[in-house]
């Protein structure tokens, strides 16, 4: 059994040896994805998709609790429609995939495979919106989009990826702005409570905002290697898209007015965040809320009288309080332990002949490998408690990593020294000028992550140019 476990663990590259290869190893060996025959595209395998389904289920419930409804928009966008909003088409032009023929016949107009759906929603709003009484329209869709990325990596950046994109229109600018803030907080709460990943909430700089937006807000998470992962964005468009697509409504004063729009999105990139925020050299460690199986039951010496039957009965009881998998395959217990550790199942329940004699089982946490002897009658209480403790500890460890790798700097010399010492977040003041933002990347290799809502006063001046500072910015190296 020890040899089986050692062999399987060695199949994963150690994080400290090559973090990028470690990540890829987990994606494939934990059976989350498989590379497809189409370059840049992946097959999301059942276990990976089950994680996404749990994310969908929990997020969708949050959206519906705030009045949002799900819709489905077309996959293709006429080129003329996409071009109506200049900033959007210019921002996405390098990544758009085009359909130029239908069967054997060339199309009269190229059709874009949706890279995002602002144009489709705006066109739809123009047809269905009539009066202020129709507002707000709070829509969301779950779909895939295509962006022709040059460099790809499973979940983080693939040419097709799965996401949700919310699109809403409102009577007033204040209502639309409140929507963007609400949805950003929704993402942040979800990441912190369900995924056990702390995030920084803030506004993007104009350089980093979404093409066509007046303001973009983001949540930024830190991975174990200190790099940033943008984990959700929310955009305020003002009435820019409404004017471009002639979306109007009759207002309370009986005049035609333009509504104010928002969009917001998160994607399967969150699965990448889970891997890189919590995983170890043995594989995934899944937060209980989104784990396909929260508990795996492994019988020990299943051929002995009563063991297999008891394991099956235990799994049936556990199913009342948690998502459970009974591994009654004929593989050796050590292989099973390694396999389910690789897949990140939060808890393992072991039961063997000796356990039957004493009316107990062994409960093992995936993150710490801590073993707990639990009387069978107490298992219904022990499992929820262990899942809660594991989730809390995952968050605390991720928070500790974030805090340990976040520093403040007042001068460029300090920025460069800290960037050279470790990968992480560096907080500085900023004058607001694009030239200084670009200089930060050129001189220190850092990009702006966001301007946190929780502003701090680090110094009075911008470290790049020495002019009076306007904002505190978090900088980092991003995926």
pLDDT greater than 70 at residue 9: no
Measured CA to CA, the distance from residue 120 to residue 73 in angstroms comes to 7
What value does the mean pLDDT take over residues 237-256?
97
The answer for residues whose C-beta is within 8 angstroms of residue 168's C-beta and 6 or more apart is 68, 136, 137, 138, 139, 176, 179, 261, 262, 263
Work out the burial of residue 130: count CB atoms within 10 Å of its CB; fewer than 13 is exposed, 13-18 middle, 19 or more buried.
exposed
Torsions phi, psi of 4, nearest 5?
-60, -45
Q: In degrees to the nearest 10, what's the CA dihedral of 165, 169, 172, 175?
A: -40
Distance CA 398, CA 434 (A): 32
Flag whether pLDDT at 153 surpasses 90. Answer: yes
Average the pLDDT over 233-256 and give the result: 97
Residue 10 has pLDDT above 60, yes or no: no
pLDDT over 90 (residue 421): yes
The pLDDT value recorded for residue 2 is: 41
Edge-to-edge strand order for the sheet containing 347-351? Answer: 324-326, 295-299, 347-351, 360-365, 371-375
- What would the pLDDT profile of 300-309 be if each residue is shown by its tens digit? 998 999 999 9
Residue 130 in tokens? 């009539």
- Residue 97: partners with Cβ closer than 8 Å, 6 or more residues away: 112, 113, 115, 146, 148, 159
Summarize the confidence of residues 358-362 as an average pLDDT: 96
d(CA 192, CA 194): 6
**For residue range 327-336, what is the model confidence (pLDDT) as tens digits?**
999 999 999 9
Residue 347 scores a pLDDT above 60:
yes
pLDDT band with cut points at 50, 70 and 90 for residue 409: very high
Q: Which two tokens stand for residue 479?
A: 């995926």
Q: Is residue 45 within 8 Å of 34, Cβ to Cβ? A: yes
List, in order of start, the domains of the chain with CATH numbers: 15-72+118-278 (3.30.930.10), 293-392 (3.40.50.800), 406-476 (3.30.110.30)
Q: Which two tokens stand for residue 315?
A: 């799994």
Q: Which residues pair with 140 in a beta bridge?
A: 70, 166
pLDDT in tens, 76-132: 999 999 988 878 778 888 899 999 999 999 999 999 999 999 999 999 999 999 999
User: What confidence tens digit (pLDDT) does each residue in 430-446 have?
Assistant: 999 999 999 999 999 99
Read off the pLDDT of residues 133-143 as tens digits, 9 standing for 90 and up: 999 999 999 99
DSSP for 7-70 reads HHHTTSPPTTT-HHHHHHHHHHHTTSEEE-SSTT-EEE-HHHHHHHHHHHHHHHHHHHHTT-EE
Q: What is the pLDDT of residue 85?
A: 82
How confident is the model over 398-426, as a mean pLDDT?
A: 98
The CB density around residue 170, as the number of other CB atoms within 10 Å, is: 20
For 416, the token pair is 């460069």
Average predicted confidence (pLDDT) for the chain: 95
Among candidate residues 33, 54, 60, 53, the one with its CA nearest the CA of residue 45:
33
Res. 182 pLDDT band, cuts 50 70 90: very high
- Tell me the three state secondary structure of residue 443: helix
Measured between alpha carbons, how far is residue 14 from residues 29, 191, 281, 282, 340 in Å? 14, 26, 5, 9, 18
> In this prediction, what percent of the chain has a pLDDT beyond 70?
98
Based on the number of CB atoms within 10 Å of its own CB, is 284 exposed (0-12), middle (13-18) or buried (19 or more)?
A: buried
What is the 3 state secondary structure string of 314-358?
Answer: HHHHHCCCCCEEECCCCCCHHHHHHHHHHCCCCEEEEECHHHHHH
Q: What's the CA dihedral at 261, 267, 272, 276 to 10 degrees?
A: 30
Angstrom distances, CA of residue 251 to CA of 129, 132, 133, 243: 11, 5, 9, 15
The pLDDT of residue 116 is 94
Q: What is the pLDDT of residue 1?
A: 38
Return d(Cα 307, Cα 351) in angstroms, integer: 7
Residue 6 reports pLDDT greater than 80: no
């Amino acid at each position: 059994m020890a040899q089986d476990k050692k062999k399987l663990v060695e199949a994963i590259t150690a994080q400290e040896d090559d973090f990028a290869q470690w990540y890829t190893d987990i994606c494939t060996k934990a059976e989350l994805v498989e590379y497809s025959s189409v370059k840049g595209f992946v097959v999301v395998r059942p276990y990976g998709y089950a994680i996404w389904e749990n994310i969908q289920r929990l997020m969708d419930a949050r959206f519906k609790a705030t009045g949002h409804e799900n819709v489905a928009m077309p996959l293709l966008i006429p080129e003329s429609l996409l071009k109506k909003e200049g900033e959007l088409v210019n921002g996405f032009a390098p990544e758009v995939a085009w359909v130029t023929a239908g069967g054997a016949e060339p199309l009269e107009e190229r059709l874009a495979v949706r890279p995002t759906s602002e144009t489709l929603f705006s066109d739809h709003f123009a047809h269905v919106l009539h009066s202020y009484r129709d507002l707000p329209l709070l829509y969301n869709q779950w779909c895939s989009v295509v962006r022709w990325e040059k460099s790809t990596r499973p979940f983080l950046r693939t040419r097709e990826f799965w996401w949700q994109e919310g699109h809403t229109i409102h009577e007033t600018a204040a209502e639309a702005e409140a929507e963007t803030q609400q949805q950003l907080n929704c993402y942040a709460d979800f990441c912190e409570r369900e995924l056990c990943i702390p995030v920084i909430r803030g506004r993007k700089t104009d350089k980093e905002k979404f093409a066509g937006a007046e303001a973009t807000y983001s949540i930024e998470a830190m991975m174990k290697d200190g790099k940033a992962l943008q984990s959700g964005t929310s955009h305020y468009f003002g009435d820019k898209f409404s004017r471009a697509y002639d979306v109007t409504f009759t207002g309370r004063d009986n005049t035609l007015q333009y509504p104010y729009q928002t969009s917001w999105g998160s994607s399967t990139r969150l699965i990448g965040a889970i891997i890189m925020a919590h995983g170890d050299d043995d594989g995934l460690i899944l937060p209980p809320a989104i784990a396909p199986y929260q508990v795996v039951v492994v019988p020990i010496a299943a051929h002995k009288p009563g063991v297999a039957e008891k394991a099956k009965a235990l799994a049936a009881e556990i199913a009342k309080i948690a998502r459970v998998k009974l591994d009654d395959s004929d593989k050796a217990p050590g292989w099973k332990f390694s396999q389910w550790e690789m897949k990140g199942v939060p808890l393992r329940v072991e039961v063997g002949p000796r356990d039957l004699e004493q009316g107990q089982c062994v409960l093992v946490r995936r993150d710490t490998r801590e073993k707990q002897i639990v009387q069978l009658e107490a298992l219904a209480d022990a499992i929820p408690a262990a899942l809660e403790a594991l989730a809390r500890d995952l968050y605390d460890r991720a928070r500790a990593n974030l805090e340990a790798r976040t520093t403040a700097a007042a001068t460029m010399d300090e920025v460069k020294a800290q960037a050279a010492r470790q990968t992480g977040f560096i907080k500085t003041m900023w004058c607001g000028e694009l030239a200084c933002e670009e200089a930060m990347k050129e001189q220190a290799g850092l990009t702006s992550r966001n301007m946190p809502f929780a502003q701090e006063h680090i110094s009075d001046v911008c470290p790049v140019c020495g002019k009076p500072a306007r904002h505190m910015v978090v900088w980092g190296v991003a995926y």
